[in-house]
Copies of this chain bind each other. A is one copy, B any other.
């Protein structure tokens, strides 16, 4: 098993390859809570996580931010009362890199 949570992000550059269909299928089988959502023609990995109030939602947002800094790869995080929506994608290649799947899996661990 090619465990996403055991992987580390690799440095990504313009021109790096998008995740292949085979990789995407394999990784998504490990990410049952995530959807691939297209926004402005760019695929993003997206998950909504629910909380009991705004403070708990914000605390989770901070954990995601800390993870992002540790891995030097940054998501979009929408914080609202009782919910946080996390979206991972790779600006440099306008789509999903293996890094995005790794960080989705690590978000699940937070």
Contact = CB atoms under 8 A, between A and B. Distances in A.
Contacts of A79: 61, 65, 76-79
B69 A74 contact: no
Contacts of A80: 74-77
A22 to B, nearest CB: 29
Which bucket holds chain A's interface residue count?
Answer: 10 to 19
A64 to B, nearest CB: 9
B62 A74 contact: no
A58 interface: yes
A74 B54 contact: yes
Interface in A27-79: 54-55, 58, 61-62, 65, 68-69, 74-79
6 contacts: A58-B61, A58-B65, A65-B79, A74-B80, A77-B79, A81-B91
